[in-house]
A and B are shown apart, each in its own frame.
Chain A
Amino acid sequence: MFPFVLEKPQSTEDAIAAAASGARYIAGGTTLVDLMREEVEGPERLVDINKLPLGGIRVEGEDLVIGALARMAEVAADPNVQRLQPLIAESLIEGASPQLRNMASMGGNLLQRVRCPYFRMLDAGCNKRTPGSGCAAIEGLNAGHAILGTSDHCVATHPSDVAVALVALYATMRVRGSKGERSFPVEELFRLPGDTPHLEHTLLPGELIMEIRVAGGPHSHRARYLKVRDRASYEFALVSAAVALSIEGGVIRQARLAVGGVGTRPWRLRNCEAALAGKRPERQAFEEAAQLATQGARPLHHNQFKVELLPRTIVRALEMAGEVA
């Protein structure tokens, strides 16, 4: 690990100023410390933001507001989260391990870096880690990689579970930088790799995630997260699906759907959502809609099974959501 200087600002403004001049934020550290130890990351200055007033979970009207420093475990166990947005709790406890969920912040979860093994190995080409060095995964071992949103420069999946749920719930986030605050959908945080895979998100230099806001609605209580993996726990998704259905009079009024493990970012499936609207919540409609999920998919040598597994996961998740009383 490279040496670094640890800064402990007392105010959000000081933290933002430090980051704007090149320091890196650290909260739970579950991604960053790990990657620093591998020397995939080598920040010279770290800004410990844990003392900043960015924690907590509150309810504002119909909205659930989650502080960026709230820990995954804290959010999953929060009665308001469980009551208003059970999908968030469900997706959180499917991720990582109890210990890591006690450590990792919500903001850090969204910004966690990819699990591509070549990204972690300094002696392998990786355009995300070392722009221009090539992508060892494209012709390497790529069973865990993405089939959607890939480019010739990067095929890594975004590993977060809760991000998939937040995208499905059309959550927004508020960020603050040296030039002020702005809010935008969580989905817009994530960039496609394109030919700049080292640029992973849309935050401006020094911007700090303040909170995540999730609006409630009839879909909130007909929402499920399904994570498919070989091991029952403590494994990243092969494929996951977050679905939220709003059903009126036996007909789907609105379907919200995002998937994980298959995209270079948490992947919202607008075409599937559209196909479900107005349909009765039945398996045939689910299957027809799910078939649209793999439009444009570019499977690699070892992950072709994801083309098969993705629609099946969506169908099953839709059935589970439909079964919610």
Chain B
Amino acid sequence: MSVSLIGRPMTRVDGRAKVTGAARYAADFNQPGQLYAVIVSATVGLGRVTDVAAAEVERAPGVVAVLTHRNAQKLPYLPHKAGIDPAVGERLHVLQDDNVRFYGQPVALVVADTLDHAERAAAALRITYESRQPLVDPTDQRAEKIVPEAANRTRALADRSRGDADTAVARAAVRVDETYDMARENHNPMEPHATVAAWNGDRLTLWSKSQYLVNEQAEIAAIFGLPAENVEVICPFIGGAFGTSLRTWPHVTLAALAARHVGRPVKLVLTRKQMFFTTGHRPRTRQRVALGATPEGRLTGIIHEGMGETSRYEQFMEALTNVTDYLYSCPNVRTQYRLTQLDTGTPNHMRGPGEASGIFALESAMDELSYKLGIDPIELRRRNEPQMDEAENKPFSSRSLMQCYELGSERFGWARRTPEPRSMRDGRLLIGMGAATATYPAFHAPASARVRLLADGIAEVEAAASDMGPGTYTSMTQVAAEFLGLPPEQVRFRLGRSDYPQTPSHGGSWTMASVGSAIRAACVEAQAQAARRAVADANLPVFGASVNDLEWSEGRLRRRGEAATGLSYQDIVARTGVPVEAERSAERASEVAERYSMHSFGAVFAEVAIDPDVGTIRVRRIVGAYGIGRVVNPLLARSQCTGGMIGGIGMALMERTVLDPRDGRPVNAHMADYLMPVNLDIPKLEAFFVDEVDPHVNPLGVKGLGEIALVGTAPAIANAVFHATGRRVRALPIHIEDVLTA
């Protein structure tokens, strides 16, 4: 191919749909005759429903049905677990019994002819509870730490140990041993969860916000005891998700249940407040990191003990301590992961799950160590740069961390930083500069895709993938165009339907690696089929040739070495009018995974300005340098990085879901009270990519970007806050009161 489409900064193919309002999100799929459902959420934190005064509400204007555990259909809830579901425990069975397990749990559903009628009736529904005091604070004395059950523990989640970390730390010449807290966060995508459900006999269509359509299809089928093919999930656009739409939450079941109950399509949209109840959250964590080092700054021991919160009914785990295993060279490393079961909904993955929280602790501790040693923080990392993954005893497929630090330092101007805390000022303001490492595994999961070459020259490409904002529509179009040799305008990439070829969840930074590889494979196969058809067609000039003597160039088939213009797909397909269709799957060869440790790396630099009088903390600029393998679309990739940095600003300085310990209610379940960055908070943001060729990760050489874009920003900011003020804040978010007296 003369001009590679992979690597080209193309604007979004769905840009026009998004700027005209034509892009349709779940709640935009109004159906003829549709009714509106509103969830009634429990107002106690633990207990059971003792009475529901449904009768008076059933007579209210416009009300069609009131569903509670008393009259809702008992659902089969056949066993179903996907990779994104906790391995231990069982999902909430909604409206199946009178138990209230956490504040905000759905306890009833009102269906009415208009949204106003449904909302009024839902508010009027009187529910009586027998309540007990829930336990929602993991730091409460009564909160019991549990060892997660073995069924839950993959390598990244397991307790691990090499050498003797405790002794090494105890005997180290220089030590850091601190505790780091991170607040509970909510994903708070701009689009609330929404499902429009419609039954046609025993077939169910769900227009539903999902990052994992094929699982939503399978799960709802299991819950209702249907064959999976009876359920179709449609979701062409996702209004941000960050992990919250990986699982199929109770509202999807409720929408389907209600639609069946009333025999009409039902639209159910969560309120913003309800987005804090049953759609997961980043678990609050408490971590201990102990580092031991020689006076020269060589790590001799690392201990990383992490605790995350989970619900009573499921053991949610995330890779909280995973990075500590491989990030630095150290002979003695011990990691441990515990859970605290609380009376709360089950947490779930939120952008950079586990790694983002874990690295805040590790990279804060590394920064603390650098001051104790009097060694530049970046130099400290250089001195502990490993030659291989010392936990797994295997080489990295590629690792560009030091190149990231070099490039980032230069672009950021790290050399201008004076090491002493409180030593840099701009007028009255205290200036601080901090750095931190970012890393995330380069995952890959089996995926499929279908390519259809049409008689009009268009290539249709389909996969049950999602695009929650990174630009899947565009980047997959580029991949298909590249491997078919077509201009992108001739490629129509479609996603967002569960009946398209199966893909993994849209999360974990593996969409391009997994779906992209499948599209590549399907394109290669389609091309081969087209060639075979061409040589079998007596009216085409390549008739009778061996396909081995032919070559494809820019989407045209010709004899190798010949100057002829060759045949386009259209020339071949138009002969019969029958499209060439190829479906292929791709997965990572197990021997590759056994041979290499595969991760992305990056270095993040932040500058903050703090008003010493009133404590306001403003980020002035962030520079990130990343080694993520091949970059498919630099324009989109930079967006994803700067978006991740903005998420990191939120994590570092704003975001915290506060629960009232008396009844477990989220007190700030409101967009004005759960702070996220607004436009004025955004400083100059720069993202760079080091040249990195990784021939091992997958045929495309891509490592993924969505998560690592967030990981690393919060510790870089926290480290900058220390540099500015001399105050080490070990709990995120860092607010004005934390630095006021610094």
Direct A/B contact, Cβ within 8 angstroms: yes
Interface residues of A (CB under 8 A from B): 1-3, 37, 39, 115, 117-118, 120-124, 136, 139-141, 226, 228-236, 238-239, 305, 308-309, 312-313, 315-316
Instruction: Report the separation of the CA atoms of residues A123 and B127 in the bound assembly, to the nearest whole angstrom.
Output: 11
Instruction: Report the separation of the CA atoms of residues A124 and B660 in the bound assembly, to the nearest whole angstrom.
Output: 11
Query: A140, B736: Cβ atoms under 8 Å?
Result: no
Query: B614, A117: Cβ atoms under 8 Å?
Result: no
Segment touching A, from B93-101, B367-375, B675-683: B675-683
Report B654-676 CB contacts with A as 1/0, cut-off 8 Å.
Answer: 10001010100101101011010
Give the Cβ gap from A34 to chain B, nearest Cβ, in Å: 10
Instruction: Report the separation of the CA atoms of residues A39 and B116 in the bound assembly, to the nearest whole angstrom.
Output: 12
B4 part of interface (Cβ distance < 8 Å): no
Q: Which residues of A contact B613 (CB under 8 A)?
A: 312-313, 315-316
Query: B736, A236: Cβ atoms under 8 Å?
Result: no
B113 part of interface (Cβ distance < 8 Å): no
Residue of B nearest to A97 (CB): B678
Query: A141, B667: Cβ atoms under 8 Å?
Result: yes
Given contacts A305-B736, A308-B741, whether A230 and B654 have CB atoms under 8 Å apart is yes
- What 7 A-B pairs come out closest when comparing CB atoms? A305-B737, A123-B43, A232-B680, A233-B680, A141-B667, A316-B613, A232-B681
Query: A230, B679: Cβ atoms under 8 Å?
Result: no
Given contacts A117-B670, A238-B736, whether A231 and B615 have CB atoms under 8 Å apart is no
B139 part of interface (Cβ distance < 8 Å): no
Give the Cβ gap from A153 to chain B, nearest Cβ, in Å: 18
Query: A312, B680: Cβ atoms under 8 Å?
Result: no
* Other-chain contact of B116, A1, A228, A233 (Cβ < 8 Å): A1
Given contacts A228-B736, A232-B680, A233-B679, whether A1 and B119 have CB atoms under 8 Å apart is yes
Sample of 18 A–B contacts (CB below 8 Å): A3-B120, A117-B673, A118-B667, A140-B662, A141-B658, A141-B660, A228-B614, A230-B735, A231-B654, A231-B675, A233-B679, A233-B680, A234-B678, A238-B736, A308-B737, A309-B615, A315-B613, A316-B614
Query: B616, A228: Cβ atoms under 8 Å?
Result: yes
Q: Which residues of B contact A37 (CB under 8 A)?
A: 119
B653 part of interface (Cβ distance < 8 Å): yes
Q: Which residues of A contact B618 (CB under 8 A)?
A: 232
Query: B675, A230: Cβ atoms under 8 Å?
Result: yes
Instruction: Report the separation of the CA atoms of residues A124 and B666 in the bound assembly, to the nearest whole angstrom.
Output: 12
Instruction: Report the separation of the CA atoms of residues A322 and B677 in the bound assembly, to the nearest whole angstrom.
Output: 31
Residue of A nearest to B123 (CB): A39
Residue of A nearest to B612 (CB): A312
Query: B678, A312: Cβ atoms under 8 Å?
Result: no
Within 8 A of A (CB), among B627-669: 653-654, 658, 660, 662, 665, 667-668
Instruction: Report the separation of the CA atoms of residues A1 and B117 in the bound assembly, to the nearest whole angstrom.
Output: 8
Q: Which residues of B contact A230 (CB under 8 A)?
A: 616-617, 653-654, 675, 733, 735-736
Report B389-403 CB contacts with A as 1/0, cut-off 8 Å.
Answer: 000000000000000
Query: A313, B614: Cβ atoms under 8 Å?
Result: yes
Query: A121, B679: Cβ atoms under 8 Å?
Result: no
Q: Which residues of A contact B668 (CB under 8 A)?
A: 117, 141
B84 part of interface (Cβ distance < 8 Å): no
Q: Which residues of A contact B667 (CB under 8 A)?
A: 117-118, 140-141
Give the Cβ gap from B663 to chain A, nearest Cβ, in Å: 9
Q: Which residues of B contact A118 (CB under 8 A)?
A: 667
Give the Cβ gap from A279 to chain B, nearest Cβ, in Å: 19
B740 part of interface (Cβ distance < 8 Å): yes
Q: Which residues of B contact A115 (CB under 8 A)?
A: 672-673
Give the Cβ gap from B45 to chain A, nearest Cβ, in Å: 11
Instruction: Report the separation of the CA atoms of residues A199 and B735 in the bound assembly, to the nearest whole angstrom.
Output: 33
Query: A309, B614: Cβ atoms under 8 Å?
Result: yes
Query: A309, B737: Cβ atoms under 8 Å?
Result: yes
Q: Which residues of B contact A312 (CB under 8 A)?
A: 613-615, 740
Q: Which residues of A contact B616 (CB under 8 A)?
A: 228-230
Give the Cβ gap from A318 to chain B, nearest Cβ, in Å: 11
Given contacts A228-B736, A305-B740, whether A235 and B123 have CB atoms under 8 Å apart is no
Query: B120, A2: Cβ atoms under 8 Å?
Result: yes
Query: A309, B740: Cβ atoms under 8 Å?
Result: yes
Instruction: Report the separation of the CA atoms of residues A192 and B258 in the bound assembly, to the nearest whole angstrom.
Output: 48
Instruction: Report the separation of the CA atoms of residues A234 and B680 in the bound assembly, to the nearest whole angstrom.
Output: 9
Known: A228-B614, A232-B680. 12 other contacts (CB 8 A): A2-B120, A117-B667, A121-B665, A140-B660, A228-B615, A230-B675, A230-B735, A308-B740, A308-B741, A309-B614, A315-B613, A316-B613
Residue of B nearest to A231 (CB): B675
Instruction: Report the separation of the CA atoms of residues A190 and B403 in the bound assembly, to the nearest whole angstrom.
Output: 61
Query: B672, A235: Cβ atoms under 8 Å?
Result: yes
Give the Cβ gap from B471 to chain A, nearest Cβ, in Å: 27
Instruction: Report the separation of the CA atoms of residues A123 and B654 in the bound assembly, to the nearest whole angstrom.
Output: 27
Query: B678, A233: Cβ atoms under 8 Å?
Result: yes
Within 8 A of A (CB), among B712-742: 733, 735-737, 740-741
Q: Which residues of A contact B670 (CB under 8 A)?
A: 117, 120
Q: Which residues of A contact B615 (CB under 8 A)?
A: 228, 309, 312
Q: Which residues of B contact A233 (CB under 8 A)?
A: 678-681
Instruction: Report the separation of the CA atoms of residues A234 and B673 in the bound assembly, to the nearest whole angstrom.
Output: 10
Report B319-341 CB contacts with A as 1/0, cut-off 8 Å.
Answer: 00000000000000000000000
Query: B120, A1: Cβ atoms under 8 Å?
Result: yes
Instruction: Report the separation of the CA atoms of residues A229 and B736 in the bound assembly, to the nearest whole angstrom.
Output: 8
Residue of B nearest to A144 (CB): B673
Give the Cβ gap from B4 to chain A, nearest Cβ, in Å: 41
Q: Which residues of A contact B614 (CB under 8 A)?
A: 226, 228, 239, 309, 312-313, 316
Q: Which residues of B contact A232 (CB under 8 A)?
A: 618, 678, 680-681
Q: Which residues of A contact B119 (CB under 8 A)?
A: 1, 37
Instruction: Report the separation of the CA atoms of residues A231 and B652 in the bound assembly, to the nearest whole angstrom.
Output: 12
Instruction: Report the separation of the CA atoms of residues A117 and B613 in the bound assembly, to the nearest whole angstrom.
Output: 28
Give the Cβ gap from A157 to chain B, nearest Cβ, in Å: 13
Given contacts A117-B667, A309-B615, whether A235 and B736 have CB atoms under 8 Å apart is no
Q: Which residues of A contact B736 (CB under 8 A)?
A: 228-230, 238, 305, 309
Query: A231, B678: Cβ atoms under 8 Å?
Result: yes
Q: Which residues of B contact A308 (CB under 8 A)?
A: 737, 740-741
Within 8 A of A (CB), among B229-277: none
Instruction: Report the separation of the CA atoms of residues A19 and B162 in the bound assembly, to the nearest whole angstrom.
Output: 76
Q: Which residues of B contact A313 (CB under 8 A)?
A: 613-614
Residue of B nearest to A235 (CB): B675
Residue of A nearest to B650 (CB): A231
Q: Which residues of B contact A315 (CB under 8 A)?
A: 613
Q: Which residues of B contact A239 (CB under 8 A)?
A: 614
Query: B680, A236: Cβ atoms under 8 Å?
Result: no
Report B598-619 CB contacts with A as 1/0, cut-off 8 Å.
Answer: 0000000000000101111110
Instruction: Report the separation of the CA atoms of residues A122 and B122 in the bound assembly, to the nearest whole angstrom.
Output: 13
Instruction: Report the separation of the CA atoms of residues A140 and B678 in the bound assembly, to the nearest whole angstrom.
Output: 28
Give the Cβ gap from B187 to chain A, nearest Cβ, in Å: 18
Instruction: Report the separation of the CA atoms of residues A305 and B735 in the bound assembly, to the nearest whole angstrom.
Output: 11
Give the Cβ gap from B56 to chain A, nearest Cβ, in Å: 15
Q: Which residues of B contact A2 (CB under 8 A)?
A: 120
Instruction: Report the separation of the CA atoms of residues A235 and B674 in the bound assembly, to the nearest whole angstrom.
Output: 10
Instruction: Report the separation of the CA atoms of residues A117 and B116 in the bound assembly, to the nearest whole angstrom.
Output: 23
Give the Cβ gap from A46 to chain B, nearest Cβ, in Å: 15
Residue of B nearest to A233 (CB): B680
Residue of B nearest to A118 (CB): B667
Within 8 A of A (CB), among B117-164: 119-120, 123
Give the Cβ gap from B39 to chain A, nearest Cβ, in Å: 15
Instruction: Report the separation of the CA atoms of residues A308 and B678 in the bound assembly, to the nearest whole angstrom.
Output: 27
Instruction: Report the separation of the CA atoms of residues A151 and B123 in the bound assembly, to the nearest whole angstrom.
Output: 30
Instruction: Report the separation of the CA atoms of residues A37 and B670 in the bound assembly, to the nearest whole angstrom.
Output: 14
Give the Cβ gap from A133 to chain B, nearest Cβ, in Å: 14
Give the Cβ gap from B588 to chain A, nearest Cβ, in Å: 42
Residue of A nearest to B615 (CB): A309
Q: Which residues of A contact B660 (CB under 8 A)?
A: 136, 140-141
Q: Which residues of A contact B673 (CB under 8 A)?
A: 115, 117
Give the Cβ gap from A95 to chain B, nearest Cβ, in Å: 12
Q: Which residues of A contact B675 (CB under 8 A)?
A: 230-231, 235
Q: Which residues of A contact B737 (CB under 8 A)?
A: 305, 308-309
Report B471-493 CB contacts with A as 1/0, cut-off 8 Å.
Answer: 00000000000000000000000
